[in-house]
Amino acid sequence: MGEEAGGRVALVTGSARGLGRAIAEALAEQGVSLMLVDILADRLEETRAALEAQGASCAAFATDISVRENCIAAVDATISAFGKLDILVNAAALMRFNHATDVPEDEFWRIMQVNAGAPFWFAQAAIPHLLESEGNIVNVLSQSALMGTSYIVPYSMSKAALMQLTKSLAVEYVDKPIRINGVAPGSMMTEISTGATLPEDVDFAKMKRYSGERPPADPAQVAAVVAFISSPKASNVHGAIWTADGGVTAG
């Protein structure tokens, strides 16, 4: 593993698979120690073991981040394991395809809790530690925060809320030694999309509007953006939303 950001510690949510795991791998390549957080305990352990086999310093915390107390406990576990926290990456996400009129109430709130609520609770718990380390937060948004998207209305709402969390925290802490930014990916080859179940009577022409002209990204491509923004090389980047969507939101 590299030493570009050696000595730093990151907490990455959703790191058992997909983009979250790719982000953990990219940070490990920079020499960052990792607290891996996910609800999928078995997959999380697989990720931890794989990263440690490559020389990374890792710990894992399996929990349901829709519960505020669990978010706080994950941050506390990071401090207990590593003594500090430099980077918080809110990468965990839940997405379900459905007609807006068919979304069950419990599904709606679950998406909101995981995608928007948990990042707030993690930020609330982590910011005192990040101020001490002069660290940073990277929130993983979506192109859906920036444009209308069919069949994933609650997901799009939650990501728009996460974008405003990012910007509002950046303004509130603009005069403090902390950076807060967001990355908005487009379509990616991850289980959240490739394993999705579509509702009946889907209008694929509507979906084409936000799938873009380029192939879906490999998660590693987006992870590289997150790794850069969280690194000392991006020390002047604050309050920014970086798109990584192959040009879908360009115009």
Q: Catalytic residue among 151, 155, 173, 210, which?
A: 155
155 included as an active-site residue: yes
Residue-wise burial string across 8-40, b where 16 or more C-beta atoms lie within 10 A, e elsewhere:
bbbbbbbbbbbbbbbbbbbbbbbbbbbbbbbbe
Nearest in space to 219 (alpha carbons), one of 33, 64, 28, 23: 23
Residues 6+ apart with CB under 8 A from 94: 110, 111, 114, 115, 155
In the chain, beta strands by DSSP E: 9-13, 33-38, 58-62, 87-90, 136-140, 179-185, 241-244
Q: Which residues are catalytic?
A: 155
